[in-house]
Amino acid sequence: MPVHIIAKGFSEGLTALPYGWTVAKLAPCLAVLYLLKWYFNGATNTSERNMHSKVVMMTGGTSGIGAEVAKGLASRGAQIVLLTQHSLTDPFLVDYIEDLRTQTGNELITAEQVDLTSLHSIREFATKWVDNLPPRRLDMIILCANTLTPPGGKAAMTEDGLESTWGLNYMANFHLLSILSPALRAQPPDRDVRIILGTCSSYMGGRLPDFDAPAKVDKKSKKTAKPASEPIAFTPAGVYATSKLALMTFAIAFQKHLSSYTRPDKKPMNARVIIVDPGWTRTPGMRRFLTFGSLWGLALYLFMWPLWWLVLKSSDQGAQTFMYAAMEAQYGRGDGGYFLKECRQFKFLRNEIEDEAVQQRLWEGSEKAIQALEKEGAKRRAMEKKSEGKKTGKEENGEAKQRKGK
């Protein structure tokens, strides 16, 4: 029995126990390792909320932290609407949703195809959602979609000509929420509506764009090469930090936008914006960043896996503050604009985030940039459609001539 073994160790010393000194030497190391892992894992969500009948719209819900948030909310009965760039008939998406339904015992998990790198795709989806009568139920929007060009990697561009990190992390979220604003304001006054946006501590190193600077113009084509509101940064990390700083600044401005709305029933606004920093987590994006997007980087990542396991959270641990933001009762009240980290409320470390003048310039600059990009996109699609029509017409004429010759 363990009691007799312990008693023998006390009476006769560690040498009387099998591997006694080995265990005594290893125990402090294991204890220190356990404490370090406990510390780096961060806080755990202890809040609970009945999520049955709640409609939750999510981006980034098929991988990383977003997948764990979707799983956690679905297991509590929430109806999940995943916004994904995958086709609704894509085998991966079909299997993913079926697996999620099986794991959570929740059949109310669906998806909508939205390409967040396309302003046109975002507008098509959001407009369709807003135009529905009566207004569709929407209790929560959780924005987890995120991207980062690895160090040394070549920056990708969206179809609208935006740098991908800036386009997805900030402009897509700005565009989506701007159009969905009427759907949020139309929710009944007794409904707890929350808009949760993911950020990162790197926002402290961001630098907002100079909105007073003129847009760059290509002298040859005499066309605008880049919107003035797009940040100019020399490193991928710089653009990423700026996108997070801009997103947080917009989040506070969006809360003011919602709160200033006068409801027809004269009830107070019930939509609240919450910003969440999940901490450093072993997500696919983090792995891509640490490996520099290369095979040799992946080999180095695998070699250093014990270190990353120790200091980085798992996706489930990274999702804890998102779950806390979605379920903690106190954040369903008050003025909104909360900033949460490790399941606690923190203050912003950049003054620009709460500066109304900066918020206004960011909003107006982003609107102008999107308007310009959407006009260019509409022209491009019209030309492509016209070109396809001419090509189809030529093919039909050729087939008609062949039939006539026969």
In this structure, the number of other CB atoms found within 10 A of the CB of residue 182 comes to: 13
Supply the angle between the helices 320-327 and 64-75 in degrees, to the nearest 10: 40
Which residues neighbour 270 within 8 Å (Cβ) at sequence distance 6 or greater? 187, 189, 190, 191, 192, 193
Q: Are 289 and 250 in contact (CB under 8 A)?
A: no
CA separation, residue 214 to residues 167, 227, 242 (Å): 19, 8, 19
| Residue 226 is a catalytic residue | no
Helix (H, G, I), strand (E, B) or coil at 271: strand
Q: How far apart are the C-alpha atoms of 264 and 208, rounded to whole Å?
A: 36
Q: Are 340 and 325 in contact (CB under 8 A)?
A: yes
Catalytic residue among 71, 244, 385, 394: 244
> Helices in 170-314 by DSSP H: which ranges?
172-185, 236-259, 284-290, 295-303, 305-311
Q: How far apart are the C-alpha atoms of 366 and 163, rounded to whole Å?
A: 14
Which is nearest to 221 in space by CA: 369, 384, 378, 376? 376
The Cα diameter of the chain in Å comes to 109
The tokens for 137 are: 């139920």
Q: How far apart are the C-alpha atoms of 258 and 243, rounded to whole Å?
A: 22
> What one-character DSSP code corresponds to residue 281?
B
> Helices in 76-117 by DSSP H: which ranges?
91-104
Q: Are 216 and 289 in contact (CB under 8 A)?
A: no
Report, as residue numbers or ranges, the catalytic residues.
244
